[in-house]
Structure formats: C-alpha cells, structure tokens
C-alpha cells in the first residue's frame, strides 16, 4: 500500500477525555487497529514480561515510561501485519521527543501522520470520568459505572470478560500527577501538530456517539472515507 493511502490518526486528550473509548469505535469504523501505549504496558504488566516490570513503577506513580522503551514498543506494534493500513494512536506520542521519533518511523515507511484529533474536556468532568471508569481485563474495552455502564454489572458486553478498576484510577494523587504531566508534556505536542495543519479540536463533553460522529467527519473531510 502506498504511504499516502495509509491513515495514521493520533488521538490527543487528557486522562479520561475518551481517547480509548473513541479509538475502539474508530477501529471498527476504519478497519485499522487501535494502538494504545497504556494498554500495551498494562498487558505486559499482567503477563509479567520484562517490559511490564520496567514500566510498573512509572505507571503506578502516574509518570511517563522512558521514551526509548515506549518508542521501541510502538515501532514493533506498527510493524505488524494488521497495522499495514495505518493505526489509531491512543496515548502516543506524549512528548516532543516521542513525536519526532514517530515522524522518523513513519518517514522510513513513506508515510506520515494524516490527522491529529484533540478531544477537549474540562478538569471537573475528567475527575468524574476517571473515578467511575471500569476496564475489561480480557479485551481492555472501557466502561463507566454511570455514563456508559455494561449491560450486566461487572461483565464486558464485547467478550464477557471481568471488569476491574485500574490502580491509577483509585489514587487521586496519581490522577492529579497524570493531569499535571499531561499539561507540561503533551500540550506542546498538540501545538506541534496544529502548526503542521493536521489538528482538529473536538468538544469531548458531548455524548460518546456525538463525539464519534464529529471525529469521523473530521477524518473523512481530510482524507476521504
């Protein structure tokens, strides 16, 4: 496939803005995989791999895992067969160093970031969402006890797996730390893509389906269906 036809879509937004929720929907819509660095780290943690052990302490504190580790993991994921048509990047890049690494990676494959979406949500709403979030242990689908409950309490609609609460969502200190780091490290990355003319800002406080429609429209508008 030539580089121009591939879609590399980046979702930006603070913790709890709905990146994971929207990435799932976009994955089904466009037929390219969600690549979520947080999910990949949590998977490695669960499987107790070396990568998981390395990432653990950073994640528990709400801090970023070192860039070399994260970049290598993403490069490996984007090289797999199911990602040859592109990917929906959720939680990556998170600082300018990662953004440059991604540009280099894609340039080597004759591709580039086709669209960056910034999902904007107020801090009060972010806290409400994070404290009520539940995640499927098997497929990582995301729910909310009030805003997006599963059909049966504690059970995933998609795969029947058990739902759990992420450790970093139980600890308000870690939540605030994540939001602080986000402001410092990730806002400059959003600016970087804005200057490049590929950024669209979406109101993330609307209902999930409305946010999804707005994102799909922005993507199709730029690159076609």
Catalytic residues: 19, 94, 133, 166, 178
Shortest distance, CB of residue 5 to Mg ion, whole angstroms?
27
| 139 touches Zn ion by CB under 5 A | yes
Shortest distance, CB of residue 186 to Mg ion, whole angstroms?
13
Bridge pairing between strands 7-12 and 86-90 = parallel
- The per-residue DSSP string of 41-87 comes to HHHHHHTT-HHHHHHHHHHHHTPPPPHHHHHHHHHHHHTSGGGTTEE
- DSSP state at residue 186: I
Say if CB 139 and CB 159 are below 8 A apart.
yes
Helices marked H in 62-186: 67-78, 96-108, 123-131, 167-170, 172-181
Stretch that binds Zn ion, among 89-97, 107-115, 130-138, 178-186 (CB under 5 A): 130-138
Which of 8, 12, 92, 193 touches ligand AP5 (CB under 6 A)?
Answer: 92
| 136 touches Zn ion by CB under 5 A | yes
Q: Please state whether 224 falls in left (phi above 0), alpha (psi between -120 and 50) or beta.
A: left
Read off φ and ψ for residue 3, nearest 5 degrees.
Answer: -55, -40
Residue closer to ligand AP5 (CB basis): 6 or 77: 77
Say if CB 151 and CB 159 are below 8 A apart.
no
Which of 56, 208, 213, 216 touches ligand AP5 (CB under 6 A)?
Answer: 208
Shortest distance, CB of residue 140 to Zn ion, whole angstroms?
7
- Near Mg ion in 5-64, by CB under 5 A: 20
SS3 8: strand
Shortest distance, CB of residue 147 to ligand AP5, whole angstroms?
3
| 65 touches ligand AP5 by CB under 6 A | yes
Nearest residue to Mg ion, by Cβ distance, number only:
20
SS3 105: helix
| 144 touches ligand AP5 by CB under 6 A | yes
Stretch that binds ligand AP5, among 36-44, 110-118, 157-165, 193-201 (CB under 6 A): 36-44
Shortest distance, CB of residue 115 to ligand AP5, whole angstroms?
17
Token pair of 181 as six digits: 């780091």
| Among the listed residues 191, 135, 196, the one whose alpha carbon sits nearest the alpha carbon of residue 167 | 135
- List of residues contacting Mg ion (CB under 5 A): 20
Q: Which residues bind ligand AP5 (CB under 6 A)?
A: 13, 15-21, 37-38, 41, 58-59, 62-65, 70, 91-92, 94, 98, 129, 132-133, 142-144, 147-148, 178, 207-208, 211
């Amino acid at each position: 496939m030539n580089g121009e036809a591939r879609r590399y879509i980046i979702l930006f937004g603070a913790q709890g803005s709905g990146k994971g929720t929207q990435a799932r929907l976009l994955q089904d819509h466009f037929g390219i995989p969600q690549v979520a660095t947080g999910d990949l780290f949590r998977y490695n943690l669960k499987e107790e791999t070396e990568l998981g052990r390395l990432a653990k302490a950073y994640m528990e504190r709400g801090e970023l895992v070192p860039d070399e580790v994260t970049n290598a993991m993403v490069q490996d994921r984007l090289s797999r067969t199911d990602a040859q048509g592109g990917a929906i990047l959720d939680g990556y890049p998170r600082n300018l160093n990662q953004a440059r690494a991604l540009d280099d990676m894609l340039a080597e494959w004759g591709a580039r970031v086709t669209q960056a979406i910034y999902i904007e949500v107020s801090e009060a709403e972010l806290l409400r969402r994070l404290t009520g979030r539940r995640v499927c242990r098997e497929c990582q689908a995301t729910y909310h006890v009030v805003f997006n409950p599963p059909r049966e309490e504690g059970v995933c609609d998609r795969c029947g797996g058990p739902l759990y609460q992420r450790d970093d969502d139980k600890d308000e200190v870690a939540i605030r730390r994540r939001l602080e780091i986000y402001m410092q490290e990730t806002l400059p990355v959003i600016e970087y893509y804005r200057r490049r003319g590929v950024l669209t800002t979406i109101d993330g406080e609307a209902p999930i389906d409305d946010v999804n429609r707005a994102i799909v429209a922005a993507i199709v508008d730029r690159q076609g269906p």
